[in-house]
Amino acid sequence: MLNDSDKWPVTCTKCGYVSDEPIGRLKDIDELTCQVCKKVAAFDRSRFSHDVSELKRSVEIAMRNSGYTS
């Protein structure tokens, strides 16, 4: 669940192309280049890492509250 090898959809703000990027890669980069239109966009990796951590924690809490066991 939300491991570095899991994919995260990233949408180009110019052409709308959606690429599925590994979470681990997104934690290590400062910019993304669209595979289709080649637009280069800044990427806030520290914010992304924080948001993924918060999402992971929320999912774990919800699973624990629902009684789910893996």
- The model's pLDDT over 20-49, given as tens digits with 9 standing for 90+, comes to 999 999 999 999 999 999 999 999 999 999
Whether 2 maps to a domain, the answer reads no
Q: Is residue 47 part of a domain?
A: yes
Residue 60 belongs to a domain: yes
Inter-CA distances, 57 with 44, 53, 63, Å: 20, 6, 10
pLDDT-above-90 percentage for the chain: 84
pLDDT at 68: 74
pLDDT of the residue at 1: 74
| Domains of the chain: total | 1
In this structure, is residue 55 part of a structural domain? yes
Question: Residue 18's domain spans which residues?
Answer: 7-66
**Entry pTM:** 0.79
CA-wise closest residue to 30 among 43, 21, 49: 43
Query: Is residue 1 situated within a structural domain?
Result: no
Separation between Cα atoms, residue 16 and residue 14, nearest integer Å: 6
14: left (phi over 0), alpha (psi -120 to 50) or beta: alpha
Q: Give residue 2's pLDDT.
A: 85
Whether residue 44 is contained in a domain is answered as yes
User: For the CA atoms of 54, 56, 59, 63, what is the dihedral angle to 10 degrees?
Assistant: -130
Across all residues in the chain, what is the average pLDDT?
93
